[in-house]
């Protein structure tokens, strides 16, 4: 630091403030320090800084998998949310394995991350991983949750999301000509079962329900099953955009038109939704708001103590061409 200070003609304290990023520095001085550090090949010793500050300025994120583009989008928005306070986000994929999920928690605890954000693989069986994390470091469950744990939760209100779908369908679709059907995921996660429960609340138990997984291949398979069962028109409500994308591709390949014959409605509204053709009607999760809520929880000095909090964020309905509103 002394060498950088001499090269930049500033004090060592200015060098420290600039490279730590914890306090604002005059832009002109900052530019000189960064240029001098680059010329001298100086790099901050992050391990040494962590020992001095007793914090690592890192947050761990464990996602169930990267097959679902929604999780990639969440990671991207969290990275942006943490950039301003200078926190690095480290991401681990559990690859839909409870054993991998536990190993990821143990690995992040061993690296002494300041906080851990986890999207549980399973609503019940991920309890061991979530509890271990919550007893070791400030822990926030995102999108999915294991009930009864000591971890905070931030996620969308799935019941309101399905109510928005119900309002849209009942006001825009001719259900006598395009009867409703639900294509979702097996209720192993809280998001899967909450969306299924929400659908049944607004449409009853009579409409057919096809349950598989959160991926496009299941959407393709579900569309094939519907066509094989003789469906030639319908309003298909899905539990995720990635499922809707698979449905749209299969219906198009089979020569069916959307929305004239089949309406298709998604859930998530980020990432893969922009690839849909026609444009997708979907329930959008406000991932920007969710990311900022997580950052706020992590920055609060009491985030690692006291009773866990739960924040349900209201989604919004986005009308696209796959299920237009009535004029």
Paired residues of 155 in beta bridges:
312
Round to whole Å and give the CA distance between 164 and 187: 21
Higher pLDDT, 290 or 46: 290
Where do we find the tokens 């200015």? Answer: 14
Higher pLDDT, 56 or 208: 208
**What 3 state SS string does the chain have?**
CHHHHHHHCCCHHHHHHHHHCCCCCCHHHHHHHHHHHHHHCCCCCHHHHHHHHCCCCEEEEEECCCCCHHHHHHHHHHHHHHHCCCCEEEEEECCCCHHHHHHHHHHHHHCCCCEEEECCCCCCCCHHHHHHHHCCCEEEEECCCCCCCCCEEEEECHHHHHHHHHHHHHHHCCCCCCCEEEEEECCCCHHHHHHHHHHHHHHCCCCCEEEECCCHHHHHHHHHHHHHCCCCCEEEEECCHHHHHHHHHHHHHCCCCCCCCEEEEEEECCHHHHHCCCCCEEEECCHHHHHHHHHHHHHCCCCCCCCCCEEEECCEEECCCCCCCCC
Question: pLDDT for 28-51, tens place per residue?
Answer: 888 888 888 888 777 655 444 443
* Average pLDDT score, the chain: 89
pTM of the model: 0.80
Alpha-carbon dihedral angle through residues 169, 171, 172, 177, given to the nearest 10 degrees: 70
Question: pLDDT for 218-276, tens place per residue?
Answer: 999 999 999 999 999 999 999 999 999 999 999 999 999 999 999 999 999 987 788 88
Round to whole Å and give the CA distance between 64 and 122: 9
- Among residues 18, 13, 42, which one has the least CA distance to residue 28? 18
**Domains identified in the chain and CATH numbers:** 2-44 (1.10.260.40), 55-155+287-313 (3.40.50.2300), 158-286 (3.40.50.2300)
Identify the pLDDT of residue 94: 96
Q: Which residues, other chains included, contact 220 with Cβ-Cβ below 8 Å and sequence gap of 6+? A: 246, 247, 249, 250
Round to whole Å and give the CA distance between 238 and 316: 16
Question: pLDDT for 94-125, tens place per residue?
Answer: 999 999 999 999 999 998 899 999 999 999 99
Round to whole Å and give the CA distance between 238 and 199: 10
Question: pLDDT for 4-26, tens place per residue?
Answer: 888 888 888 887 777 765 556 78
Round to whole Å and give the CA distance between 157 and 153: 12
């Amino acid at each position: 630091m002394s060498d950088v200070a001499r090269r930049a003609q500033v004090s060592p304290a200015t060098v420290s403030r600039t490279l730590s990023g914890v306090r604002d520095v005059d832009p002109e001085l900052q530019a000189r320090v960064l240029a001098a550090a680059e010329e001298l090949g100086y790099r901050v010793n992050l391990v040494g800084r962590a020992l001095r500050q007793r914090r690592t300025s890192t947050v761990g994120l464990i996602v169930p998998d990267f097959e679902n583009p929604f999780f990639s989008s969440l990671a991207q928005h969290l990275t942006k949310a943490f950039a301003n306070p200078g926190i690095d986000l480290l991401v681990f994929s559990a690859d839909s394995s409870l054993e991998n999920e536990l190993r990821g928690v143990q690995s992040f605890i061993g690296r002494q991350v300041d906080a851990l954000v986890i999207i549980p693989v399973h609503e019940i069986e991920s309890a061991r991983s979530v509890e271990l994390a919550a007893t070791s470091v400030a822990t926030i469950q995102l999108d999915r949750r294991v009930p009864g744990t000591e971890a905070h939760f931030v996620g969308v209100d799935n019941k309101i999301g399905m109510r928005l779908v119900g309002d849209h369908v009942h006001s825009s679709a001719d259900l006598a000509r395009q009867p409703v059907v639900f294509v979702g995921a097996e209720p192993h996660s809280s998001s899967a079962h909450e969306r299924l429960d929400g659908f049944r609340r607004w449409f009853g138990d009579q409409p057919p329900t096809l349950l598989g997984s959160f991926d496009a291949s299941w959407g393709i398979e579900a569309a094939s099953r519907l066509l094989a069962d003789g469906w030639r028109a319908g309003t298909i409500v899905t539990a995720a955009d990635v499922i809707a994308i698979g449905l749209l591709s299969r219906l198009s390949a089979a020569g069916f038109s959307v929305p004239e014959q089949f309406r298709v409605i998604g859930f998530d509204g980020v990432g893969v939704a922009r690839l849909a053709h026609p444009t997708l009607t979907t329930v959008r999760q406000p991932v920007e708001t969710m990311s900022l809520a997580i950052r706020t929880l992590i920055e609060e000095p009491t985030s690692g103590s006291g009773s866990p909090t739960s924040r349900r964020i209201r989604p919004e309905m986005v009308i696209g061409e796959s299920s237009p509103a009535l004029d």
